Amino acid sequence: MQPVQYTTRSFMTSSFAVGVAMVTFLSLGVMGTLIMIGAPTLVTLALFIGSTYLGVMWIGGEAVYRMDDQGLERMVTSLLTKRTRRQHFAWEMVESFKSGRDLDRSWDEYDFLEIQFRRGGHSWKLANQSDPAAFATFQQAFQLQVEQQNLSCGDGTIRHRRSFFETAFAKLVTHISYLFLIGLALVYLARPGLLEFRHLLRLLLVILPGVAYLTYRVYLKPDKPAP
């Protein structure tokens, strides 16, 4: 196959979760130390924000994902130190992958591809937020290469894991949410004084968006099922 690459932003750590944990521990450690020594509130807040920013700049940077017949490669260049970390895994080291859609902190939907490797708990998660067209090309080439690898091995060594919304547990959670809403309505109709309407309205404003999104993802627009 011709080499395919995708450029985005990522952490230099073995997985995105590890990177988030490192930045969190760093910033909370700085804030805790400043609180213990009695630093002024504004100074504590400023250094907390500053340490978070420096942590992200230190372990985060431009990531180039590259794929060819030999395997997968990721090179991340730190925004702060300009140091480059390179990782390369042969196709035999790919254990599984998961693809689907998720929400960011702004509630915008994006496509993702998560690749799990057999060594040291390494995993990569790519999102299409930087360049949707390039991401789609990379994802399609990856899935085609996975099919070829599995055919050559004959035993389907690279598994396609289900996303949460494809599982029976997601359907169970959705159905329980429906029952909860029905029960809430019945209780309110049977004993109106038990729960004031304004409190009921606040509760529904919190619950209904989540139930609506579950219904949308599980039944109306589900992810492509994993084979």
Q: Are 214 and 174 in contact (CB under 8 A)?
A: yes
Q: Are 31 and 47 in contact (CB under 8 A)?
A: yes
pLDDT attached to residue 72: 95
Interval 2-33: pLDDT, tens: 899 999 988 888 677 788 888 888 888 999 89
pLDDT attached to residue 10: 85
How far is Cα 133 from Cα 197, in angstroms, rounded to an integer?
48
Across 36-61, average pLDDT: 89
The structure tokens listed for 44 are: 């504590």
Across 32-42, average pLDDT: 89
Which pLDDT band, with edges at 50, 70 and 90, does 225 fall under? low
Helical axes 16-36 vs 41-59, angle rounded to 10°: 160
Is residue 191 within a helix (H) or strand (E), and if so which, with residue range?
none
